[in-house]
Structure 1
Amino acid sequence: MKQSTLTSFMQAALNEGKKSTRTRAERHAFYADLEAFAKARRFSDLTPANLTRRQLQQYVEHAQARGVSHRSIQNRLAHIRVALRGVGLGAKAESKEWSNDAFGVASLRGDRVGKHRAVTEIELTAAQAHAGALGDRGMEFIVLSALQRCLGLRAQEAIQAAGSLAAWERCLVQNRPITVSEGTKGGRARTAVVPEGLRERALIAVRAAQDLAQRHGGKLVDASSLKAARDRYRHTCAACGLVGEVASHGLRYAWAQDRYRAYQREGFAPAEAVRRLSEDLGHGSGRGRYVRMVYLRGMRDEA
């Protein structure tokens, strides 16, 4: 029985390993769009194995004509390459002919810099003070923002942290690295070394989160689903002033800069400090240039 384009691409991508729920949802939406495009163009039985460069170029031009952003098209091409690798076409996926540059969507200068900056202590204090008048939503914000700032968590990692809090408390008490496993990008667990200057503050944040989870029946955000929890936290962040350039992700930037300075105080050369920081953030040891450009932006004289 022949598989649909959507099914064949999803199966191929799964062959490359499971990813986070969000990544799978994004892939599903893209592959469904690719299937609709293939039917409209009468590309019969399109699969990763028989996809041609010309067909993909036509899809890219179709997406551009619909106003799909440069960055989104890059992400869609990445999903194509995952599917190609999933059917044993890794060499094809990594060839120059199938690169972003070849399809006219190469990264532009500043593309990966991002729209955030490190949230200052004054800005965080003001946001948390504002949250005091927002009842339960405000308390959730105070707890989650503290976790992000003290442990370098992404928003989703903080939202899903309830099951890790007891282990984090033990690690902090024993001055050991914490392991972040829930809500991580791509479902990849990581260990992170909390800077000595943040350890006591992190311990307070973790214990406050434990109290909140106990009141919420094991959850840090009182919502019916993960999507609802993300939306609730994001809206509360905006209401408290953490939006745009200083959105909650900027709390992770602030933590990263503290962690980098701590590595420097411990005597590590800049390159090694960035490498270790990249691993703490869950980007792997080979993403030093990206980490320096994004997380350490604004402190390059130190980096």
Structure 2
Amino acid sequence: FRSGGQYQCATTAAVLQLSRCLGLREEEAVQSVKSLKSWKQAIQNNQERVNVVFGTEGGRLRETTVIDREKTLNAINFAIKVAGENNGKLIDKHNLHQAIGLFRRVAMAAGLTGKNSPHSLRYAYAEDAAKFHGNTMSHKETLAMVSMDLGHADGRGRYISQVYYKNEQSE
């Protein structure tokens, strides 16, 4: 089944679930297999954030908040299972470029385009993160935290507000 639809659906589902739970970019999600065990351990140790190391913009380490521990742990366990069946990779291709290409093709074939594209999962994560942080922080602090959760600088709150929250006014 390696080249069949069932294989492609499972690998794509694993990448999509991780992206949704942790606000990962496409490349971060595809390469996340290298961090799954440390993320699982961090969540089991009740840490509020996990390190995103691989596939980040500029190769800069970032942390992201774990919003729903149970859902994230389930996504990580599923990804570990998928990787175990695919030579230790979420998407078993010769290189990262090919893996991302396959992920994109499968996502598009499944109708995940436009407002329902894989990138839209970062928007959904940003909304959840804003609610989560907003319980204990001011509006500006919340925007700064969401910005950092997504791998942007803390000073990008206005950008987050405009792009992720459809031109909501910053304080």
TM-score (norm 2): 0.92
Corresponding residue for 1:218?
Answer: 88
Paired letter, 2:63: T
1:287 correspondence with 2:156: yes
- How far the C-alpha of 1:216 sits from its partner, in A, is 1.1
Paired letter, 2:9: G
Counterparts of 1:43-192 in structure 2, within 5 Å, are 134-176=5-47, 177-192=49-64
Please point out which of 275, 291, 298 is paired with 2:144. Answer: 275
Runs of at least 4 residues off by over 6 Å: none
Please point out which of 93, 109, 119 is paired with 1:249. Answer: 119
- CA displacement, residues 205-232 of structure 1 (integer Å, 9 cap, x when unaligned): 0011011111111110021111110110
Give structure 1 stretches of 5+ with no counterpart: 1-132
SS in 2 for 1:192: strand
Cα separation, 2, equivalents of 1:205 and 1:187: 24
Q: 1:193 to 1:162 in 2, by over 3 A?
A: same
- How far the C-alpha of 1:245 sits from its partner, in A, is 2.9
- How far the C-alpha of 1:134 sits from its partner, in A, is 2.5
Corresponding residue for 1:81?
Answer: none
TM-score (norm 1): 0.53
- How far the C-alpha of 1:276 sits from its partner, in A, is 1.1
- CA displacement, residues 102-140 of structure 1 (integer Å, 9 cap, x when unaligned): xxxxxxxxxxxxxxxxxxxxxxxxxxxxxxx92100111
Cα separation, 2, equivalents of 1:189 and 1:249: 20
Counterparts of 1:16-55 in structure 2, within 5 Å, are none
Q: Tell which structure's C-alpha radius of gyration is larger.
A: 1
- How far the C-alpha of 1:281 sits from its partner, in A, is 1.1
SS in 1 for 2:9: helix
**Relative contact order, higher structure (CA 8 A, sep 6+):** 2
Cα separation, 2, equivalents of 1:301 and 1:270: 10
Cα separation, 1, equivalents of 2:60 and 2:18: 19
CA contact (8 A) 2:158 2:170 kept: no
1:228 correspondence with 2:98: yes
